Structure 1
């Protein structure tokens, strides 16, 4: 997992924390070397469940998944957020990330994708007074 320096990992974690400040939504980033299944979205669903992202109260988790050596990535929103964002939201978010990834700006790509997801989460799932951070903000591997 040498794609990101410790400082870059902290930038991504800070982007997650900033995005979650004003929402009850949860954002996670998962990075691994290889995607063990042919379809990257199938793997994203597996990881989503392994990280218990399907257990949030409002079903408003968003997973950013990257298999570095396979050069595959996915963005997956749980059913609560998926049914309220614009139909092309995940695809346009991936395109913003893809442009940065192609230019070798992986940290910026993640941060921009996370920021976009945070904007949607704030709009549809504003932070409540009794809200708690249900999932870790750390990058999982």
Structure 2
């Protein structure tokens, strides 16, 4: 799926995006995604307890490269702040790179786009705490 260098690249993009925001971004890459990727992202979001952040400002980027599926799921604080086409814009940016076979770059572009939104709504605070890990979640 992803090699160590690509995983590190994605982790660093998460850390860069979160360095300007109190929001939380996580990435889950899975081999199998049966059914609707948004439903799978919703389930994974809650399984990871991403709905437990203080400001409800977590976002999960969920990708299944082998099934050519991806979804972005934002918690209530994020979802209420976005315009209707934002997730589509971020997904299109990701898919553009996916089609060229560059999964890691696509994910990094998606993380960057999501980071822009979170930054505008949830700027970094003086006493910011990283509530969720930045590591990439890999699933079989």
- Where on the TM-score scale, by shorter chain, does this alignment land: which range? over 0.9
Residues 1:140 and 2:137 aligned together: yes
1:70-81, aligned counterparts within 5 Å? 70-81=67-78
**Does the Cα contact within 8 Å between 2:11 and 2:135 map onto a contact in 1?**
yes
Tell me the alpha carbon deviations over residues 19-41 of structure 1, each in whole angstroms, 9 at most, x when there is no partner.
000111000001111114x2111
1:93-132, aligned counterparts within 5 Å? 93-132=90-129
Matched positions, count:
138
Unaligned stretches of 5+ residues in structure 2: none
Structure 1 stretches of 4+ moved >3 Å? none
Residues 1:83 and 2:67 aligned together: no
**Does the Cα contact within 8 Å between 2:23 and 2:118 map onto a contact in 1?**
yes
Q: Which residue of the partner structure matches residue 33 of structure 1?
A: 31
| TM-superposed deviation, 1:69 | 2.5
TM (norm. structure 2) is 0.94
**Does the Cα contact within 8 Å between 2:26 and 2:134 map onto a contact in 1?**
yes
Q: Which residue of the partner structure matches residue 12 of structure 1?
A: 10
Tell me the alpha carbon deviations over residues 55-79 of structure 1, each in whole angstroms, 9 at most, x when there is no partner.
1111111111112322211111111
In 2, distance between residues paired with 1:68 and 1:89?
A: 21
In 2, distance between residues paired with 1:105 and 1:43?
A: 22
What SS class does the counterpart of residue 61 from structure 2 fall into?
strand
What SS class does the counterpart of residue 118 from structure 2 fall into?
helix
